[in-house]
Chains A and B, each alone.
Chain A
Amino acid sequence: MTESSVSGKIRVLSDAKGHLIENIDTDQIFHNAHLHITEVDKMGTYAFGNLEGWKDFPQKSSPGDILVVGRNFGAGSSRQQAVDCFRSLQIGAILSPSFGAIYFRNAVNSGFPVLRSLELTQLVDEGKLETGDDIRVFFLSGKAQISSKNLSFHILPMSDVQYEIYRAGGLYSYGKTWNQD
């Protein structure tokens, strides 16, 4: 079996000083005013609609982009839309030092790649990881490569469960193939 990976252009969610924005909560990602929206296709328009400096994200992002975000990303409520708005924009993956616990679960259950690396903060601060870099992230070996810079760093490999749900395309599909004992 060849290992799954995802590649794309990095988009760093940073503040005016170039540091990763930490503690971005679900109301900043997908504001509660839009919670009545249930179709994934329509959610992309509202991604980061309440995050100062990033309200034009849906226009700026391109399908396949890989987001690099600050620690405790997705803190707050349990809303699934805060994950699905990125699926709607066909974002390839989100990398963060850490995620809110419920947010991480929701992303895994949607079959959307969320990956953790404690090296991200320093790499961004030192200017080694920048918007526009081409990155490839390997889900199982815990490796990320930026070919243009001959740079690689560690990520936490996906757990078996996360990988299996990802491969199945989400928790529901995974459960349907599940041979329960």
Chain B
Amino acid sequence: MPKTVIEKIIQSHTHDEVEPGKIVWMDLDIRSARDFGGPNVVKNFEREYGDDPVEDKTKTFFTFDLCVPACSLKYADNQQICRNFARKNNIKVFDVDQGIGSHVLIEEGLALAGMTVVGTDSHLNILGAVNCFGQGMGDVDITFAFRTGKTWFEVPETLRVKIDGAVSSAASAKDLTLYILKRLGTQRAALKAVEFYGEAVKNLSLAGRITLCSMVTEMAGIIGFVPEVDENAAYADSVALDVTGLTPQIAAPSSPENVFDVSEFKGTDIHSGFIGSCTNGRTEDLAAAARVLEGRKIKEGVMLKVVPATRRVYQELLSQGILETLFSSGAIVSNPGCGGCAEGHIGLTGEGEVQISTGNRNFAGKQGKGQTYLASPEVVAASCVVGRIIGPEDL
């Protein structure tokens, strides 16, 4: 029987025979550290390995994306610790101007189908969107990977999810993703790799696949893939869903799987919106928001905060006139990066504030003391126009 996607990728990076549940040592094509975790990696490395070199400097990267440019002295110090180490070891730094590391690795053609990538970002598994193995790990693991180019990994079982039907014209990849999260919860995919098939995912763009794969983390899964070919491998479990006519979805506070139709929350007052993050920060996402905002104004007193995923996305916003539309509507558009998932950057909430966000997590306290709803760029944009939760088709 054919191997699953993750089994095939791991098998091509190890001498051990791969099977679910078995721990193997695998070779890594890329190891990276960001501005959180990166300084710990440098300190660990220097303590454990002194002046020894990294195993392969061409496969080792720093990607700064959380607090960019540094918004406190502590982060300024931490980024400089990484830069100094990188200079000494001749390691490439994608610095504070470049945007979200996982997206940069895809854009730069560094993370490709069939490769293995680890880093200190717990959403690094979005690389599954290009059928690349990506995994977030702690700083001990990443230090070891810098030095040896290897990691141990327990081969996960694979869950097959087939999604048939066509969503309604108002629904986006985010709505599809939230609905899948609602149906799978945090147990069905727990500690498994997930392969998504079916007509509802077959035609997703790269941005849409990134949105879907990014939230496998919130499903407690290891990684999600959208394979091009359905080989009917040996799956541990399978689920079939029909999303015919799916309308816009929303995750209410305070967990991402707490998902409802947007219509059930229609009219709920909001104070701010956030569009961006590794889940919804692509040009396509921001263009979808701009289409809703074209010729409209954000309601007075409502903040709409927009953070492009990468510098390349930012450039496309400029060249395609999207930035102009967002600006004219009254949105705040910042430089690229992660935004509010990191304390100290754009997208935080104060006590009593209600925010609607395209992010992937709305746990209590994650973005501040306020409440966060999760939705698509279109729903966030529409809601900011009226100051209440509303689907774009109801504007």
Contact = CB atoms under 8 A, between A and B. Distances in A.
A14 interface: no
Interface string A67-80: 00000100101111
Contact of B23 (A27, A38, A160, A178): A160
A13 interface: no
Nearest to B44: A172
B122 A78 contact: yes
Interface in B29-76: 37, 40, 43-44, 48
A102 B220 contact: no
B380 to A, nearest CB: 25
Interface residues of B, number: 28
A23 to B, nearest CB: 8
A72 B191 CA distance: 10
B191 A101 contact: yes
Nearest to B366: A27
A171 B141 CA distance: 8
Contacts of B137: 78, 102, 105
B14 to A, nearest CB: 12
A171 B144 contact: yes
B23 A109 contact: no
A110 interface: yes
Contacts, number: 62
Contacts of A148: none
B138 A79 contact: yes
Nearest to B122: A78
B215 to A, nearest CB: 15
Interface stretch (B97-105, B146-154, B245-253, B287-295): B146-154
A172 B147 CA distance: 10
Contacts of B144: 109, 171-172, 175
A179 interface: no
B332 interface: no
Nearest to A176: B48
A106 B190 contact: no
A59 interface: no
A121 interface: no
B139 interface: yes
A159 interface: yes
Interface string A3-33: 0000000000000000000000001000000
A98 interface: yes
Contacts of A79: 138
Interface of B: 22-23, 25, 37, 40, 43-44, 48, 120, 122, 136-141, 143-144, 147-148, 152, 154, 186, 190-191, 220, 222, 365
Q: Which 4 A-B pairs have the closest CB atoms?
A: A78-B138, A106-B138, A161-B23, A109-B140
8 contacts: A27-B365, A80-B138, A102-B136, A105-B137, A109-B138, A171-B144, A172-B44, A172-B143
Interface of A: 27, 38, 72, 75, 77-80, 98, 101-102, 105-106, 109-110, 159-162, 165, 170-172, 175, 178, 180
